Amino acid sequence: MEHSTAHDQNVEPDADKFPATGASSSVVEDPPNDVESSGDDFNFRKNDNDDNEEAMERKRRDVSQHPGESSSNGTNLGLPRMKLDIADLIRTDIYCCDLLWCLFVSAARSYRFSSVLRPFPPMYQEGDNKNMFALKNVISSVPQFSTTPQFLQDLPNECQTLLSWLFNVGHFKLQLREKDSAFKAVKEMTGQIMDTTEPNYVFEVVHTDEMDRKFENLRNGRKCFFAYHGSRFDNFYSILLNGLNTHLNKVSVFGEGTYLSSELSVSLMYSPAAESSRHSLLGSKLACVAVCQMIDDPSVKCQVKEGSVSKQKVRAQASKVTDLVPEKYYVVQRNDVLRVKYLLLYKEESSQIQTTANTSSSWIRDNKFTLLMVAYVLLLVAIGIANSRHAMIYLNKFWKNVKLS
């Protein structure tokens, strides 16, 4: 018997359903949703044809080996190679650059940076220690992304180095898709039934040919499912670059694994909006939901309606001590049968008026870990004083003197 949703089909994304938006030549508030496809995309490591791929790889090597050299191309205003590399990537699609930067900034500012900021920029790694103070100072120095020459000319060297590393660290490319048609196709692939809030942006994660070959070899002709995965915004930098890891999942109601759902409304509950980058073109407060592709493997625990009753139970049993995985849910217990294919981005509208309170809350957010440690130390001091007889005698004398005066 077949699923009642599209999960049972061997559904593959149709490129015609996902027209890519054109590259921006100037900074605008929001990318239009009715832009015709131009085929432009933001490419991390790889391009669409072999000639461009080799050219970009040569440029990457030149940047790392000769970061201070100037270009011989007179049309590039004599900018250093590293700046030209960043300029090419930003001009290709400024919004995809902005998204990766937002994910990186959110992870760096998280109090859980040691686990979510992976990979970590090596230029701020000092032995076993991470120089987060220096990294946050550089992050705060990066202005709003722009395709204008002035942005590149004014960009400090430390910011150039960080951006060049970030834009070249992944083995994938991002494509900003036309929202309406892309979201409609995603809903068809996941078999979503319930209406829910539409995202503001839809980005496709296009993996390299090598990664695609590995996934297809593992798949070996088996059908695939598509489902949503919600998580905190500061987790998505690591999710995008390292994939989803079952051992990092904190939810284990139906057993250990990565939890997904065919209903977007379910995953949205696990994706609260959070501060990203204050200068982001996408929005200063964002939430993200991943659309994931899963191979139909026994390690993917879900409800099926084919085979014997005992086989159906085994397929939906993620743990011997928990209930069966309910319909519209998936529990994936192998990392390699799961990968992220799309990112649905939501922005939270904020007031146009910037107040001192905004600045204060931003400072508190950036120094949350330090403030927590200070509060913890003060709590220990208070407990120590309360348990000290001599300290209490001294305090009583002090208060008596205050009252007398």
Q: Which residues contact 126 (CB under 8 A, 6 or more apart)?
A: none
Q: What DSSP designation does 80 have?
A: B
- Of 153, 172, 120, the C-alpha closest to 290 is 172
Asked which of 53-62, 102-111, 169-178, 342-351 is least confident by mean pLDDT, the reply is 53-62
Tokens, residue 325: 């995985």
More confident residue, 400 or 355: 400
The predicted model scores a pTM of: 0.70
- Per-residue burial over 118-157, b if 16 or more Cβ lie within 10 Å, else e, is eeebeebeeeeebebeebbebbeebeebbbeeebbeebee
Q: How confident is the model at residue 308 (pLDDT cuts 50, 70, 90)?
A: low
Do 191 and 63 contact (CB within 8 A), yes or no?
Answer: no
Rg (CA), the chain: 25
Domain ranges of the chain: 6-20+173-347, 42-92+120-167, 367-404
More confident residue, 154 or 25: 154
- Of 54, 84, 55, the C-alpha closest to 68 is 84
Do 269 and 276 contact (CB within 8 A), yes or no?
Answer: no
Q: How far is CA 274 from CA 139, 180, 197, 294, 365, in A?
A: 17, 24, 17, 27, 11
In single-letter form, the type of residue at position 183 comes to: F
Q: What are phi and psi of 302, to 5 degrees?
A: -165, 170
Mean pLDDT in residue range 6-11: 41
Tokens, residue 77: 């205003």
Q: 213, exposed or middle or buried, with CB in 10 Å at 0-12, 13-18, 19+? A: exposed
Rounded CA-CA distance 121/139 in Å is: 12
The pLDDT, as a whole number, for residue 389 is 80
Q: Which fold has domain 6-20+173-347?
A: Phosphoenolpyruvate Carboxykinase; domain 3 (3.90.228)
User: Does the bond joining 119 to the residue before it have cis omega, within 30 degrees of 0?
Assistant: yes
- Above 60 in pLDDT, residue 110? yes
Rounded CA-CA distance 152/253 in Å is: 50
Tell me which range, 39-43, 63-67, 69-73, is most confidently predicted by mean pLDDT: 39-43
Q: How confident is the model at residue 350 (pLDDT cuts 50, 70, 90)?
A: low
Tokens, residue 397: 């004398």
Rounded CA-CA distance 257/215 in Å is: 19
What tens digit of pLDDT does each residue of 316-331 get? 767 666 678 888 899 9
Q: How confident is the model at residue 335 (pLDDT cuts 50, 70, 90)?
A: very high
CA–CA–CA angle 21, 27, 30 (5° rounding)? 55
